[in-house]
Chains A and B, each alone.
Chain A
Amino acid sequence: DVKVTQSSRYLVKRTGEKVFLECVQDMDHENMFWYRQDPGLGLRLIYFSYDVKMKEKGDIPEGYSVSREKKERFSLILESASTNQTSMYLCASSLGAGQSSYEQYFGPGTRLTVT
């Protein structure tokens, strides 16, 4: 079974802190994604990556950066956390560079609260 794990299920951080969210997949998938999910807005794409050291901005990249130094690991970084970044963060991975017909597998999510 494909497994996507995220470093924390719940996280509480203070405004201005640097926050790291880690995502690891164990199926050698090329594609990895970071989304945030807010009530009434659905999932919104923050960043995605089709290969190691490669990243592309999604729909809402402002205030975020990412790192993909190894194929299995994709990190989301909040350089200076703000209260409007309180949200559920979901990581996903899929096979096939540029192949959208492949299924996305999601991690369990990290609920981040910024106070």
Chain B
Amino acid sequence: KNQVEQSPQSLIILEGKNCTLQCNYTVSPFSNLRWYKQDTGRGPVSLTIMTFSENTKSNGRYTATLDADTKQSSLHITASQLSDSASYICVVGTTGNQFYFGTGTSLTVIP
């Protein structure tokens, strides 16, 4: 069964600290993996997209990694800011143009 699981479900960190969010998937045939940031009450906004051959991609303070062998991805946030408080969603796309969404990690950054 094609599934995307994210952990932790929620996370609270102090401003300025780093954190890592996890995404494990069992989706096949794999095409790409994306991380989205969704602010409360808004639509998701793309942070990174990685294909099979890419194992890391950065977008400012956000760095995503992908291990296609173990079917795991992580999103690392460096020097967190209050504006990083949001839900982070992992999405895996197949070669058949289907998308599988994780349920997201809710991150709260406190001063």
Interface residues of chain A, those whose CB is within 8 Å of chain B, are 4, 40-45, 90, 92, 98-101, 103-109, 111
* Nearest CB of B to A8, in Å: 13
Chain B positions 36 through 77: 1 when the CB is less than 8 Å from some CB of chain A, otherwise 0? 100001111110010100000000000000000000000000
Partner of A101 from B43, B46, B49, B103 at Cβ < 8 Å? B49
* Nearest CB of B to A54, in Å: 13
Judging by beta carbons under 8 Å apart, are A100 and B41 in contact?
A: no
The interface residues of chain B lying within 8 Å CB-to-CB of A98 are: 97
Chain B residue nearest to A45 in the complex (CB): B99
The interface residues of chain B lying within 8 Å CB-to-CB of A90 are: 43-44
Judging by beta carbons under 8 Å apart, are B103 and A111 in contact?
A: no
Judging by beta carbons under 8 Å apart, are B95 and A42 in contact?
A: no
Chain A residue nearest to B94 in the complex (CB): A100
CA distance A99 to B99 in the complex (A): 11
Judging by beta carbons under 8 Å apart, are B98 and A100 in contact?
A: yes
CA distance A20 to B101 in the complex (A): 25
CA distance A4 to B45 in the complex (A): 12
Judging by beta carbons under 8 Å apart, are A100 and B95 in contact?
A: yes
Chain B positions 82 through 106: 1 when the CB is less than 8 Å from some CB of chain A, otherwise 0? 0000000101011111110111100
